[in-house]
């Protein structure tokens, strides 16, 4: 993969790492990146993780908690004053008090949680302060998918984006934007109205790809879908152009304008995120909604695999040596977790994990990644359902019971958000290879005609006086915690 940084970028990253390492001698710290692809549940994951740590949740697979070696857990002010704080308290109030899923991640945020512990090693107890701060860095997956742009010039970006837009269902979704492109000559004089119309139709195409009906994942440039305070700026008013001729863009042309704005997007949007945040991470968890992709068909699964490959290629994999870690930082542990495991009966959890492993393996093989320790699991940060069985036509069916979100429809019945129901969600294939064979044979194939996935409200968690210090139910959240930070608490 082309390099993402210049010498000047590397120098600034090295200075940041020196500062982080120096501070870590006084207060040992690990920076944990949390991201996900389109509605995978980043905010819910962080909220549940922090809440269960603060309130002694049920975490049997998190060894430091199970063994009683953690004596105190507390939130502390985050170290980066210029980064918004992750609004943990608001999210917990929504989850527990109102039984609403919190708003999805729209920008970067940070939270520091500090654990006082007793090391399991007598030697470590002599030298370690018995304290670890975990700086949780929450950022949209769309931002991560922008990083490959740093290795592409405008011509390469245009060619790759247009080629993808002409494949599968994207060909239909991109028709309006491609038609607008066809009316313009890249060498014609630059016109702000033309640039704005192209950017608007291009953005509409990206939004259509991301919609629940399609659930596609590879959608750079990410800020086009969440512009924030950049909305309307020239750095977000560009689009790929087709059939660019050889040579340089004519001065004052539409092509030159688009190229300049694309480079501005990389300089002022993508590079600062990479340099100031991503390049300083120690560990990373990537959350994906594999069930949604399977539900939407072969093309959504293909696109998720493509996005995972782009994501994994961005990491700097490998172990951190003592001396080298002062200048460069490598993400030495990565978790890829399929969320919403509570939407399946536990008998299907191994199948979901196998599907996710197959996605990750194929993505890693495609980019030739090696050196990173990648763990795969199926989890539910907040378990919104419980399991039961029902008798139907003389057979016993495993079902899940929960409260569908208002507006969800099952067998023609629309739910009001208050009534519980039992659902037989169906079965994933035991061998994911059969699913990927279908993907390769027909990109328009429907992969899960017997699966029945709906969205549920958070579970009821009653406590006297509106108390919010409850143990939030989950599935394998503790396993993720053990893998990501357990070794630092040994």
Exposure of 3 in the CB half-sphere (CA atoms within 13 A): 6
- Domain assignment present for 247: yes
- Domain assignment present for 395: no
- Domain assignment present for 433: no
Model pLDDT for residues 244-254, shown as the tens digit of each residue = 999 999 999 99
Same-domain status, 152 and 60: no
Cα separation of 284 and 24, whole Å?
A: 19
Cα separation of 100 and 118, whole Å?
A: 37
Model pLDDT for residues 437-449, shown as the tens digit of each residue = 877 777 666 676 5
223-140-459 Cα angle (round to 5): 135
Same-domain status, 361 and 246: no
Same-domain status, 266 and 179: yes
Helices and strands in the chain: count of H runs, count of E runs = 17, 12
Give the per-residue pLDDT at 262.
Answer: 98
Exposure of 301 in the CB half-sphere (CA atoms within 13 A): 27
* Number of compact structural domains in the chain: 2
CB 455 within 8 A of CB 415: no
Same-domain status, 208 and 114: no
- Domain assignment present for 168: yes
Q: Give me the phi and psi of 205, to 5 degrees please.
A: -65, -45
Give the per-residue pLDDT at 23.
Answer: 58
Same-domain status, 81 and 154: no
Same-domain status, 356 and 310: yes
Instruction: Output the tens digit of pLDDT for each of the chain's 490 residues.
Output: 445 556 555 655 556 655 555 555 568 999 999 999 878 999 999 999 999 999 999 999 999 999 999 999 999 999 889 999 999 999 999 999 899 999 887 889 999 999 999 987 765 655 666 999 999 999 999 899 999 999 999 999 999 999 999 999 999 999 999 999 999 999 999 999 999 999 999 999 999 999 988 889 999 999 999 888 888 899 999 999 999 999 999 999 999 999 999 999 999 999 999 988 898 999 999 999 999 888 888 888 889 999 998 888 887 555 444 334 434 567 889 999 999 999 999 999 999 999 999 999 888 887 776 545 689 999 999 999 999 998 888 888 899 999 999 999 888 889 999 999 999 888 898 888 888 887 777 766 667 656 778 899 999 886 545 556 678 999 999 999 999 999 999 8
Same-domain status, 347 and 485: yes
Model pLDDT for residues 215-227, shown as the tens digit of each residue = 899 999 999 998 8
- Domain assignment present for 425: no
- Domain assignment present for 455: no
What pTM did the predictor assign?
A: 0.89
- Domain assignment present for 370: yes
Q: Give me the phi and psi of 220, to 5 degrees please.
A: -75, 155
Give the per-residue pLDDT at 26.
Answer: 60
Q: State which of 272, 287, 316 marks the end of a domain.
A: 272
Same-domain status, 268 and 285: no
Nearest to 263 by CA among 164, 347, 176, 150: 150
- Domain assignment present for 399: no
The partner residues of 386 in beta bridges, in order of sequence, read: 401
Give the per-residue pLDDT at 396.
Answer: 85
Same-domain status, 169 and 253: yes
Q: State which of 235, 252, 272 marks the end of a domain.
A: 272
Give the per-residue pLDDT at 320.
Answer: 45
Residues in contact with 430: Cβ distance below 8 Å, sequence separation at least 6, in sequence order = 351, 354
Tokens 């002694």 sit on residue: 56
Q: How many residues does the chain have?
A: 490
The two structure tokens encoding residue 59: 């975490």
Same-domain status, 351 and 485: yes
Cα separation of 333 and 318, whole Å?
A: 8
- CATH of residue 134's domain is 3.40.50.300
Same-domain status, 22 and 126: yes
Residues in contact with 142: Cβ distance below 8 Å, sequence separation at least 6, in sequence order = 219, 220, 222, 223, 225, 226
Q: State which of 257, 272, 287 marks the end of a domain.
A: 272
Same-domain status, 236 and 298: no
Q: Which domain holds residue 104?
A: 7-139+279-382+474-489
């Amino acid at each position: 993969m082309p390099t993402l940084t210049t010498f000047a970028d590397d120098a600034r990253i090295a200075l940041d790492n020196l500062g982080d390492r120096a501070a870590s001698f006084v207060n040992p710290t690990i920076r944990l990146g949390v991201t996900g692809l389109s509605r995978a549940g980043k905010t819910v994951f962080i909220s549940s993780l922090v809440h269960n740590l603060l309130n002694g949740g049920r975490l049997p697979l998190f060894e430091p908690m199970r063994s009683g070696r953690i004596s105190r857990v507390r939130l502390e002010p985050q170290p980066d004053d210029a980064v918004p704080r992750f609004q943990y308290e608001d999210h917990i109030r929504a989850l527990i008090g109102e039984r609403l899923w919190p708003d999805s991640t729209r920008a970067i945020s940070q939270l520091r949680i500090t654990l006082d512990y007793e090391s399991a090693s007598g030697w470590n107890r002599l030298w370690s302060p018995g304290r670890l701060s975990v700086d949780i860095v929450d950022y949209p997956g769309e931002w991560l998918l922008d990083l490959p742009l740093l290795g592409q010039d405008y011509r390469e970006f245009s060619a790759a984006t247009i080629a993808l837009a002409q494949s599968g269902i994207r060909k239909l979704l991109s028709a309006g934007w491609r038609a607008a492109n066809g009316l313009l000559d890249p060498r014609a004089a630059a016109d702000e109205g033309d640039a704005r119309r192209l950017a608007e139709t291009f953005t509409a195409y990206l939004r259509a790809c991301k919609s629940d009906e399609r659930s596609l994942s590879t959608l750079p440039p990410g800020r086009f879908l969440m512009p924030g305070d950049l909305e309307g700026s020239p750095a977000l008013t560009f689009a790929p152009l087709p059939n660019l001729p050889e040579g340089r863009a004519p001065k004052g042309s539409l092509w030159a304008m688009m190229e300049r704005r694309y480079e501005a997007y990389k300089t002022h949007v993508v590079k600062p995120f990479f340099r100031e945040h991503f390049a300083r991470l120690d560990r990373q968890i990537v959350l994906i909604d594999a069930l949604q992709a399977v539900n939407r068909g072969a093309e959504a699964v293909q696109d998720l695999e493509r996005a995972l490959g782009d994501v994994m290629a961005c990491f700097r994999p490998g172990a951190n040596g003592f001396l080298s870690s002062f200048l460069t930082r490598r993400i030495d542990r990565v978790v890829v977790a399929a969320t919403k495991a509570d939407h399946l009966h536990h008998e299907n959890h191994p199948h979901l994990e196998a599907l996710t492993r197959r996605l990750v393996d194929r993505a890693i093989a495609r980019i030739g990644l090696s050196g990173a320790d990648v763990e795969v699991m199926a989890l539910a940060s907040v378990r919104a359902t419980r399991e039961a069985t029902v008798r139907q036509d003389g057979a016993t069916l495993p079902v899940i019971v929960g409260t569908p979100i208002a507006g969800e429809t099952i067998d023609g019945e629309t739910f009001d958000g208050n009534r519980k129901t039992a659902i037989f969600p169906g079965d994933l294939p035991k061998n994911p290879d059969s699913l990927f064979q279908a993907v390769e044979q027909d990109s328009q194939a429907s992969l899960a005609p017997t699966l029945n996935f709906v969205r549920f409200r958070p579970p009821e968690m009653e406590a006297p006086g509106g108390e919010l210090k409850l143990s939030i139910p989950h599935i394998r959240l503790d396993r993720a915690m053990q893998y990501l930070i357990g070794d630092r608490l040994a």
